[in-house]
Amino acid sequence: MDLDTLQIYKALRLPLLGFSIIYIIFYVYKNSRKERLEEPKYKMLEED
């Protein structure tokens, strides 16, 4: 692997990881999706 390529990889991996995590958090906790994602939890609690 070329040294320049390695430096680019190391410089971009942390911001890319951070962006990915933030995107997932916003995707999951948006109000319309949050209700849909928690719906199975309440169904399981009602069954018990």
Residue 20 is predicted with a pLDDT of 96
**3 domain-assigned:** no
- Compute, in degrees rounded to 10, the torsion defined by CA atoms 22, 27, 29, 35: -170
Mean pLDDT of all residues belonging to the chain: 84
Asked, for residue 47, whether it belongs to a domain, the answer is yes
Domain assignment of residue 8, yes or no? no
Q: Is residue 45 part of a domain?
A: yes
pLDDT of residue 1: 65
The per-residue pLDDT for 39 is: 82
Residue 45 confidence class, pLDDT cut points 50, 70, 90: confident
> Tell me, what's the pLDDT at 37?
76
> In whole angstroms, what is the distance from residue 24 CA to residue 39 CA?
19
Q: Are 18 and 24 in contact (CB under 8 A)?
A: no
Q: Total structural domains in the chain?
A: 1
**Alpha-carbon gap, residue 22 to 19, rounded angstroms:** 5
Q: Is residue 28 part of a domain?
A: yes
Q: Domain range spanning residue 31?
A: 19-48
User: Does residue 6 surpass a pLDDT of 80?
Assistant: yes
pTM: 0.55
Distance from C-alpha of 39 to C-alpha of 44, rounded to nearest angstrom: 9
